[in-house]
Amino acid sequence: MGKKLFLALALLGTYFVGCSDGESSSASSTEPSVKTEASIDSARYTVVIYGTAEGYCDSIIEDAYKKVQPLLKDSDVRILVSYKYGVEYNEEEPKHFTGKFAKPGQLVTFELTEDLDLETIKENAKMAGDSVMMSDKGLLSSVLDYAADSLPAQNYILLFYGHGGGFDYDNDYPKDKRGNSALKKSALKESHDVISAILYDEASTDYEISYQDGLNMYEIKQEIENSSIKHLKGIFFHNCLMGNMEFLSEIYTLTDFIIASEHELAADEMLIVDFIKELTKEKNGFQNAMESFLDNTRPHWKIEYKEGSSNGDLMLLKASEIESFFPIFKKIAKRLTTLYKDESMVPYINGVTNNAYVVDQDLFFYDALDFANQLAEKTKDSVFVASAKELKQAFDKLILKKIEVHYDEEHKLDSFSLSVLMLFHDIYNDKSVWGYANKEAYEYTKFHKETGWGEWLDLNTLFSYGNPDEDD
């Protein structure tokens, strides 16, 4: 075990289970016991699965463990799992714990091998509960350091497993800038349920104020940059709503490829299983393997969307192309702020905002390309027309492969891109649950700094708290 992980996990009060040779540490020991291998072969791929989900979801990832194990026989792929189990139930809406290989609230970290006895996980892990968050400083970087030390590979992939919410102004802001050490309960009671950017933790739930802690986009970047890996071959967001411009703009420099969904991600264990399966068969590079993965997983992946009559997508993105979007969005934002001051243009822009495809109404996520296309069509403005064409070309380069389904008859769009935030003035200038303005959080993002998108959000008055039709 690498020294950094040993120290970090000892400080966080957890154990490292299942060393790289498949053995486990002793539950009675006060420190992790580790068997050091004489030599460690370098794999083609090491996949780090890092996550947490609600207790009723834990059976899904356990099914993935079981179905992945046979795929690892004679393969050049190694898997390191660092996963925190959910709590036993939700007090407001009981959803019982479904895990079998660990107890509620346990944090387990182990190498998944073909012959690992999964029953040993619960015997050797230590309770974490609300004392250890997957967002704790140094935890993710320590897990990545261990992967580099003990599961070395030519390529590293980080797979986040758990819930996600895209950019969220209540969480995606540096915690040391919040200004208050405790939550403002009066503000929280009046707010919507808080969804952090990624991996919100059921064990941290405060039912009185509807708050859960999680891992924000700045923490993801810092943890990866602070690790010995620093740059990954791929990041797979097995989370909802992470195909979001604001979020991806913070982390795109950390990886070559990104797998993410603009919509809520409906998936059982087979996404992970099919993903690992293609890696074990890979002969012509990661991109080709991931394109095959999307093709082969689609028949099963689409089932839940069909049953729920909902839309969905999953995309393979070339991360380096994200940067090309900044000047395009900057032109669109600048033109919006100019034209929105012209009363004759306001009805056209409001009409577009009313009719563009909304990915998530509660979070105000809009499909970016559809919004740009409708601006061009409705206003006939030359800047919008040119920018929409540029944006389409940029998305063609960014999205290497995608699968999508269109089962929602009420909300239709021929093809999906990525989401962008479309707040209006009142919410943009509201206070977050921590007391700082939502505007402060948004204008701290790289996306705003590069594009000035927040200036448009600050002007957007399509809806207001005093609007009698705001519910519509």
Does residue 289 belong to any structural domain of this protein? no
Domain shared by 223 and 333, yes or no: no
Domain shared by 338 and 225, yes or no: no
How many structural domains does the chain have? 2
Question: Could you tell me the sign of the dihedral formed by the alpha carbons of 123, 126, 128, 129, in that order?
Answer: positive
Q: Of 230, 257, 289, which marks where a domain is finished? A: 230
Domain shared by 226 and 329, yes or no: no
Please report the pLDDT score of residue 72 as a whole number: 97
Does residue 282 belong to any structural domain of this protein? no
Q: Profile the chain (472 residues) by mean pLDDT over runs of 10 residues.
A: 39 39 30 36 95 92 98 96 85 77 92 95 76 92 97 98 89 78 40 54 70 86 97 97 97 98 95 98 96 98 96 98 98 97 94 94 93 97 98 98 96 96 93 88 97 97 56 44
Q: Of 172, 199, 230, which marks where a domain is finished? A: 230
Please report the pLDDT score of residue 214 as a whole number: 84
Domain shared by 328 and 221, yes or no: no
Domain shared by 328 and 216, yes or no: no
Please report the pLDDT score of residue 125 as a whole number: 78
Q: Of 193, 214, 230, which marks where a domain is finished? A: 230
HEC secondary structure over 430-472 = CECCCCCEHHHHHHCCHHHHHHCHHHHHHHCCCCCCCCCCCCC
What CATH code is carried by the domain that includes residue 222?
Answer: 3.40.50.11970
Does residue 312 belong to any structural domain of this protein? no
Does residue 161 belong to any structural domain of this protein? yes
Domain shared by 213 and 352, yes or no: no
Domain shared by 56 and 196, yes or no: yes
Does residue 145 belong to any structural domain of this protein? yes
The residue segments making up the domain with residue 420 are 324-399+407-459
Domain shared by 222 and 337, yes or no: no
Please report the pLDDT score of residue 464 as a whole number: 54
- Which residues in 78-113 are b (16+ Cβ under 10 Å) and which e? bbbbbbbbbbebbeeeebebbbebbbbbbbbbbbbb
Domain shared by 341 and 218, yes or no: no
Domain shared by 83 and 224, yes or no: yes
Does residue 141 belong to any structural domain of this protein? yes
Does residue 296 belong to any structural domain of this protein? no
Does residue 314 belong to any structural domain of this protein? no
Domain shared by 18 and 127, yes or no: yes
| 112 Cβ contact partners less than 8 Å away, ≥ 6 residues apart | 18, 49, 65, 68, 69, 72, 79, 80, 81
DSSP string, 80-135: EEEEE---S--SSS------SSS-TTEEEEEEE-TT--TTHHHHH-EE-TTT--TT
Domain shared by 328 and 223, yes or no: no
DSSP string, 230-276: -SEEEEEEESTT--BHHHHHHHGGGEEEEEE-SS-----THHHHHHH
Taking alpha carbons only, the member of 258, 372, 396 closest to residue 315 is: 258
